[in-house]
Amino acid sequence: MGAMIVVKNLIKIYKVGSDKVVALNDVTFSIEEGEICCILGTSGSGKSTLLNMLAGLEKPTRGEILIGNQRIEKMNEKRITRFRQKNVGFVFQSYNLLHGITALENVAMPLIFRGVKKKKRDKIAFMMLAMVGLAKRVKHKPTQMSGGQQQRVGIARAFAARPKIVFADEPTGNLDSRTTIEVMELMVTMSRKNNRTLVLVTHDKEIAAYADRIIQLKDGEIISDERKELQFETQKNAVI
């Protein structure tokens, strides 16, 4: 395995009036293919800014971000949008499901952007929902489901298009403790079975413990980088 994500000397400075706020200060690290990596930090540590940079949602002030050897910070908006559609899945704290459509349609959404025909994308979406335990909820809309069920739909959607990387931003922030465990175990299992790189952002050390590796930020700088040995491995037989 090689590095899926490489970050070099990343700096992000925001201008607030006449002041400058340094959100990220010379951050450098890499994440291996198939690794489950947690970016851990309190509010204001720079973790959300870093996630936005990795996902191409914001441009750095200086530095390089390589994903699969492609310099995403150099891409224009059109190119980075296509890149995300092809390579990236997202799991959000607030689920970000479309309330007017069914679970099946929500999960199939990334496949529409890939140009997958309806019959095939519905088949894939159903399979993904079955994998997260929601085979009987395919026709339900988000308002008819619990928070935990909605997040399971979000996870199914994130993995549906077989992305190389899944970014999860405080994915259990709106869930109770029991559902949090179920959702975290599900995301880890889905990532490992399919050898997907999972980048998890959280302030919660209990959530961070699910990761192979924890990169801790404080005031925009890495203060620790710890990897658990032999926790992640490539599995040859992918499920999806």
Domains and CATH numbers, the chain: 34-58+83-239 (3.40.50.300)
pLDDT in tens, 73-105: 999 999 999 999 999 999 999 999 999 999 999
**pLDDT recorded at residue 23:** 96
Look up residue 239 and give its DSSP letter.
-
Among 23, 167, 21, CA closest to 89:
167
d(CA 5, CA 16): 30
**Rounded-to-10 torsion of CA 181, 184, 185, 191:** 180
Q: What single-letter amino acid sits at 8?
A: K
- Tokens 């079955």: give the residue: 130
pLDDT in tens, 139-161: 999 999 999 999 999 999 999 99
Mean pLDDT score of the chain: 92
d(CA 146, CA 95): 11
pLDDT in tens, 101-149: 999 999 999 999 889 999 999 999 999 999 999 999 999 999 999 999 9
**pLDDT recorded at residue 1:** 60
β-pair partners for 31 = 5
**pLDDT recorded at residue 229:** 65
